[in-house]
Structure 1
């Protein structure tokens, strides 16, 4: 699990091996503010990031989740 800050948002990036162990699936959660703060607000609940095929590595899956979060934040689709 990776936790990163993009502006006023904190994003939690996760990747899990799929059941067939043939690839990795990315997941993302986005908070406005810090997730450890009482005043933070979860604006995107943990969800799987849909990519064409499973990522070949954990790092690729994390990068796909990061790109998804950046697109959502830039487009203000939260």
Structure 2
């Protein structure tokens, strides 16, 4: 898992190894900093970041990063 910060948001980039396969499933969780609470709050929990598994951990993390960044840019959160 990797955590990246973009403005008031944190992207939690997750790659889970699929059992019995040499493939990785990418997920993203998005947290937003709440000024009132002075802490991060989950706004999107463990969303699947790709329709297909990835060949490596690094590719899965990149897929999760792209999905999370796209969601932030769309303003849908």
Bin of the TM-score, shorter chain as denominator length: 0.7 to 0.9
Cα RMSD (Å): 1.8
User: 2:21 and 2:76 mapped to 1: Cα distance?
Assistant: 32
Give the TM-score of the pair, scaled to structure 2.
0.85
Any conservation in 2 of the 1:22–1:54 contact (CA below 8 Å)? Answer: no
Counterpart of 1:70 in structure 2 is 69
Q: Does residue 7 of structure 2 align to residue 7 of structure 1?
A: yes
Structure 2 segments unaligned to the other structure (5+ residues): none
Which structure: greater strand fraction?
2
User: 2:39 and 2:8 mapped to 1: Cα distance?
Assistant: 12
Per-residue CA shift, 1:5-52, capped at 9, x if unaligned?
011101110101112323100011100018xx753221101122233x
Detail structure 1 runs of 4+ shifted over 6 Å in the superposition: none
Counterpart of 2:24 in structure 1 is 24
Counterpart of 1:57 in structure 2 is 56
